[in-house]
Structure 1
């Protein structure tokens, strides 16, 4: 799998997981908000919502009807009571029933309580619903608090002094015990007198303020009721705290429901931010750490340190002790492998560079020696000829001149070899190639090479083929190659070494020339570096007829003519150099 696809899948997967988590958080938030709103609705309006839920959640057991325990606790929390009636008005089940509540109702009596036609110290709510073929009749009652208190205040509180409402001690104690307040307003809605009025309660009412506070008590800290006196135009106001309903609101602008919604939104946003912060941290840990590791690795490579950055235990940070990738680095496995290969290549190239520098220094030392030796001879004989103290004979002058010419020719050969190697380095192409019958040509070239007195006689054996073989070559270059390969075999081995040259034609029409000697051979390193420009397999001082560039030049010339040159050798088993050309198409 390519790294682009793997990274794409990882980021898509992470985004999908983050999206699912966000949706889950949103679902939990919505569920929590709905539950809280349901609790508020149940607490504020149990007479309609709670009774319906009681019927919906009820079950028939062996002992009769069974209601939900949480809903019954809400009835008790509201300081109310609950009764279940049969079709005849008889109470089947009761919960939290006070002693003054009947256990049997006549049809007219129950309707009178419900329609407030008969005095009853409780507000009564009736719920009738059919379920599973049975008619459920629930009677829910809560003590009347505001109405009796308002009636007592309006009947007994006719006097006031210095803004203080004068009431009987009993009524004052009832108001204070319940944390309530009482007010007397003039016809314009201004407060004439008050008892125990909190700071959050206004001392002047508009029509809208009075209507809203009495109609929507759940929005305020206190629920209230009022009575209007037609004779005086005054209004009596009595209020009690909403604590009995399970909530209070000191800010009339933000209702309890809105606070729940805002709390849910704030919680959801906080959770989403936390999730994204955690996801960012995990992404930084999973993707950032490997990237910083690779950047540190590249920096170390730039500084010439070719080892992967390691941890405190000396182990590469991307690997486990078993050698496997660490999980966070497995995503970048291809990149890590490429950097590992780059490290190997750079280390190998650095080693080759050091070896090349060493070989070049050795080669320069050798070639300097090879140039200085004939130059010293030329300079010495030139001084002799220029010396006035001697009167040289013509024969001596010719002898000295011949030696100087020989040394000059050797220096010219060295310089030509240097020029040829740099021409090959810049890229050369063979001049006009010509078709040559290789059988006879190679035999003549070997005869000319064998004429060198330093080789000795009978050391070159030519195995000619039976048929004529034609090839396209450039003669001067090919003669140079044959001379270099012959010199390499005969000058760097013992005097009894034999060189066998075999010419053959392949089945596909290609040409092969093999130079095989039975000399001392070469080790693997020498054979691998035989055709390098700065490598001399033998001692530079062993002969004055070489530059150390012959094999590099031969390789370049053969390749420029479209051929290939290879070597195979082993210590004590001789050396074989093979020249090959593919068939011309």
Structure 2
């Protein structure tokens, strides 16, 4: 069975199972949850429940309103009043309304009420309704004694916005009687708590949520803000219980019909949602995996698939947004696979170049040795003692060159595989480097080159293997000499930082181009000539880099054609080591 058919069959079975489950589930929940939600809303937040429910159950015709007595009774129990205002601003219905209230309102007055949610001493809960009865504006009012009490407490107990410590016992006693507590915020930070907290880690948006959705919390919050002291007092009180409302529906057939339709609707909706959200992306992923199996790493999606998944601006379409991170992971995986493929190709070329370089270096001395061997083997030549001595010297020199080349080649792989054991000692850098390069200054055969050393003003101590690190300096110095003409200035500097030591070897020679700099440490990079000195042999820079890395250091090259080259070795500094324990 094809993947598309399997997905279709899977979601068809899911549709059937989901429909059966959803039908009985919603049938049960409809009878239970609806009643519980209404009861819970009225029990935990009666005011909000009445404000949201009364406009939907009220019957208004020609500005004449009828309201069930149970709602009037609940409002009376909660000390609420209600006014209903028509489009002309006239009050068409009053319930428990104080005599001081108006029977008609201007637009400005209504807008002010909407903005401040206050009317005189009353807290107003406005509700606009235009569902069945036309357009009417409901005003529910309640005198918030707790908020008024909090204001009085602030005026009586505060000092510069905070609770006065001298009068604090009186405030704590009142809070204890109410089983509440007060939090004081100043400049957005909680600075004082009075009373016993019933909850911990109340965040800022939790407080805002308590005001808008108080039914979610066991306590209700009252707020008083004082602009003069830039402080806010928050009073937390346990919620008051109120009467619950009887079941709002009376006909069982209506509830059964609603449950069936609701179950069917959600079943179809979820199935369609599953099909678009899960089915189509899976087909895209399967196509990509098939292309990946063929080695086509560079194409995650075809142009047709991209139009399905992405908008013109490059954003993911809504139906595929769930898999946005997966798409990104696929692209990242494709890039990595493509990069790995390129790296493999580069490695193959590099290995071929290494072998070609080694073959080139071996071929030249072997040709010389082979040529002299034929000459010695032949009876055509009568060599003098001096000539035989010269031939022997050439054969020995070429043999030593080949042996050194093989040893360096083996050493490179040992260094790369951490097959070399270091014997580290603590040394003083200035003394060590100056001694290591001193032999170049004393070598009369290098008198055409200028050598200078600039040490650091203070002793610097590092831990390294002196034998191997001497070879690093030798390779770098020989490289600077070998590849630059006479009269080149070579300068060695020691620089220190709080955490590292920098050894810089600079010359003002011919320099290198960008390609040479990039490949200097990465491969067997130079055409060799056995007439040159044998130090380095094209592997010297790779050996130097590997030894530096074994010492947890780093090496960098900066060069410009015609201006010279600068090589910097960075090694970690041993500040904690005592100078008495150092060795040169």
- TM-score, normalised via structure 1 length: 0.50
> Which structure ranks higher in relative contact order (CA pairs < 8 Å, sequence separation ≥ 6)?
2
Larger Rg belongs to: 1
